[in-house]
């Protein structure tokens, strides 16, 4: 709803002898509330864990909350998430390349929601990098994902491999396409699995468009 200067004048006339504070209060009460959704930071949260939970680019959270390096957040802090960005945080299949499969298996993965692929397979099965890149996370750094490997690839792509058993790479390592980076585990889940996600410029790629 847009309010013109004439509408404001009308409010002033109707208010008569009302105080300026009263008129301002009446005016502001008619303005729709922001579409931003808020989130109360919990112990163990990080910018990345919240971004993954809401399928957002971490930069979206940083920008909308005026955070500065090293982007420290604390329990009880209220962060604002831009709802309008969530609907845009999906990359279309036209932008997807052909990747190396993270698991060598004939069994197709199951889509978990729109953005995660779940491979239910034997514990210890090798996990491979889908493309060359550099390791940015290697360990239980983000609660809820167990032992996690995150690799940054050319052209803004990022791959995530969750619930690993053993991790064979470390942060900063340069990885080649198809290189074994970890093996399947059950860290923070009840049965062995690999949960995989692909992101472009920080935003999730729909599983329906990922091609191996």
Summarised one tens digit per residue, pLDDT across range 78-87 is: 999 875 555 4
Which whole-number Å values give the CA distances from 43 to 27, 40, 66, 71, 106, in the listed order?
39, 10, 21, 15, 40
Burial tier of 147 (Cβ tally within 10 Å: 0-12, 13-18, 19+): buried
Distance CA 7, CA 13 (A): 10
Query: Which CATH number is 37-86 given?
Result: 3.10.350.10
Q: What angle do CA 205, 199, 97 make, to 5 degrees?
A: 70
Chain-wide mean pLDDT for the chain? 81
**Which alpha helices (DSSP H) does 55-180 contain, by range?**
58-64, 83-86
pLDDT tens column, 160-191: 999 999 999 999 999 999 999 999 999 999 99
Tell me: pLDDT of 11 over 50: no
CATH number assigned to the domain with residue range 93-209, chosen from the 4 options 3.30.365.10, 2.70.70.10, 3.30.200.20, 3.90.1150.170: 2.70.70.10
Domain ranges of the chain: 1-32, 37-86, 93-209
* Cβ neighbours of residue 140 closer than 8 Å, sequence gap 6 or more: 146, 147, 148, 187, 188
- Side-chain-facing half-sphere of 88: CA atoms under 13 Å: 9
> How many CA atoms are closer than 13 Å to the CA of 16, on its beta-carbon side?
1
């Amino acid at each position: 709803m847009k309010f013109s200067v004439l509408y404001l004048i009308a409010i002033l006339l109707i208010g008569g002898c009302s105080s300026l504070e009263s008129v301002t209060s009446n005016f502001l009460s008619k303005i729709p509330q922001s579409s931003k959704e808020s989130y109360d930071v919990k112990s163990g949260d990080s910018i990345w864990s919240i971004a993954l939970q809401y399928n957002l680019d971490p930069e979206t959270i940083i920008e909308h909350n005026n955070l500065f390096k090293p982007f420290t957040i604390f329990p009880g802090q209220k962060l604002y998430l831009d709802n309008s960005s969530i609907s845009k945080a999906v990359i279309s299949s036209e932008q997807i390349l052909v990747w190396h499969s993270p698991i060598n298996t004939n069994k197709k993965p199951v889509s978990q929601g729109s953005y995660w692929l779940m491979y239910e397979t034997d514990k210890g099965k090798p996990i491979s990098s889908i493309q060359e890149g550099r390791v940015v996370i290697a360990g239980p750094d983000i609660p809820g994902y167990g032992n996690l490997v995150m690799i940054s690839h050319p052209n803004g792509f990022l791959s995530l491999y969750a619930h690993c058993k053993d991790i064979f790479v470390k942060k900063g390592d340069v990885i080649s396409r198809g290189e074994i980076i970890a093996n399947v585990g059950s860290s923070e889940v009840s049965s062995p699995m690999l949960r995989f996600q692909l992101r472009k410029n920080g935003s999730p790629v729909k599983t329906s468009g990922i091609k191996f």
